[in-house]
Amino acid sequence: MTTILRNGPDLESLDKRYLFHPFTALADHERTGPQVIVKGEGVWLEDAHGQRYLDGMAGLWCVNVGYGRPEIAEAIHRQALTLPYFHSFSSWATDTPILLAEKLIEMAPVPMSKVFFGQSGSDANDTQIKIVWYYNNARGKPQKKKIIARRRGYHGVTLASASLTGMPSLHSGFDLPLDFVRHTTPPYRLWEAEPGQSDADFVAKLARDLEDLILAEGPDTVGAVIMEPVMGAGGVIVPPKGYYPAIRAVLDRHDVLLIADEVISGFGRLGTMFGATAMEMQPDLISVAKGITSAYVPLSGCMVSEKVWRTIVDGQATLGVFGHGYTYSAHPLAAAAALANLDIIEKDGLVEQAGRRGAFMHERLAEAFADHPLVGDIRGHGLVGAVEFVAAKEPATRFEPSLKIAGRIVKAALAEGLITRALPHADTISFSPPFVISEDEIALMVSRARTAVDRVADELVR
């Protein structure tokens, strides 16, 4: 029988021997080993040595209602005893996912018609590509296959979703991106705007870049654009006001669908139930995952508008069955966790709380970092924030990448008992704590981050 060891060194040596840790320098990891987390409560985590950490990232932007919620654990337990699993292929269904689908359609930020359930944000975005392709095949426009994403966008790691992801480190070694994917300019003011450029001019430039790309590729070859309302892993990049209406106007001119990747922003992170509402986005398709269950059980969803849905239904006469679905699609345990999670969010007013705590967090971040010599930008929206570090402020100048500034700060923060995250291809650390974080805990999170930044700043002048 396997026993769970609570003893740190044993777990660490087993991990080093058996677990494949992607996104690490593998040879280093085999030497240094993992940090093994064994327990969570609220915003606090405990490792196998009994060391406590404030989780400033809600896991990976997902444990929104915090750790240790008995309501979710009990819902999973009840569902497992009643019906742990049956599939939802062909005409089969189970009860709990049906109720969740009804709830999601009622909650959607713009009218939506149907939901398809998967397991991860990556598979949701993969599925959206198949939906776009089937939709255009059904309309007799089979050449409209290209999908445009943004540089720095993060949409997952399957072959298709990694291709959408606009980060070279997720492409190299795998011959990606696949050839139907293109990338356009992100709304990243610090590095993409002209000095002193107004929001309106910056928005016009971004919309022009997208339209130029669509025209260069040929509008009859472009099926959809995928965008996160606020870009998360690529740098917590908040678009200027008017950005999505300008993007939507371009897409409407060229008969191109808009997919909102709400994997991080869905279910309250930006202080509204969906990021599309906060960012004035009018999508045709919406991907959700992470916060739908606060990560207690893996679950993703693709929401589909009536226009797309009806075309798919009508297209079956010529195209045949929509041949897609996973063994674990519409898993009853995940649906039970999601319903309990959404119930907590609604009953405890956690969306509004995320907005209020977010405002408090941005004030504390500004207080702690605005005058810091290493800080080039502080940004965010709702309960997600980021601090970007620069070698010089005027004009903004990047650090030499080999200095690995953000990685060093994250390590120094860990020594202070704070989990934050270094974002790839940006000297940026991010904050995305559970919505249940208190004001005192936010103040502690920011002060620990400040200590970590000062420690790395001291190393740099030495």
Contact footprint for ligand PLP (CB under 6 A): 60, 120-122, 125, 154-156, 228, 232-233, 261, 263-264, 289
Q: How far is the CB of 280 from ligand PLP (least distance, A)?
A: 18
Q: How far is the CB of 397 from ligand PLP (least distance, A)?
A: 28
Q: How far is the CB of 297 from ligand PLP (least distance, A)?
A: 12
11 vs 149, beta carbon nearer ligand PLP: 149
Q: How far is the CB of 434 from ligand PLP (least distance, A)?
A: 16
CA pair distance 254, 459, nearest whole angstrom = 52
Between vectors from CA 139 to CA 259 and to CA 243, what angle results, nearest 5°? 25
226 vs 345, beta carbon nearer ligand PLP: 226
42 vs 301, beta carbon nearer ligand PLP: 301
146 vs 290, beta carbon nearer ligand PLP: 290
228 vs 377, beta carbon nearer ligand PLP: 228
Using CB positions, name the residue nearest to ligand PLP. Answer: 121
120 vs 305, beta carbon nearer ligand PLP: 120
Q: How far is the CB of 79 from ligand PLP (least distance, A)?
A: 21
55 vs 211, beta carbon nearer ligand PLP: 55
261 vs 284, beta carbon nearer ligand PLP: 261
Contact 45, 68 (CB under 8 A): no
Q: How far is the CB of 187 from ligand PLP (least distance, A)?
A: 15
Q: How far is the CB of 166 from ligand PLP (least distance, A)?
A: 12
Q: How far is the CB of 5 from ligand PLP (least distance, A)?
A: 27
Q: How far is the CB of 462 from ligand PLP (least distance, A)?
A: 35
269 vs 357, beta carbon nearer ligand PLP: 269
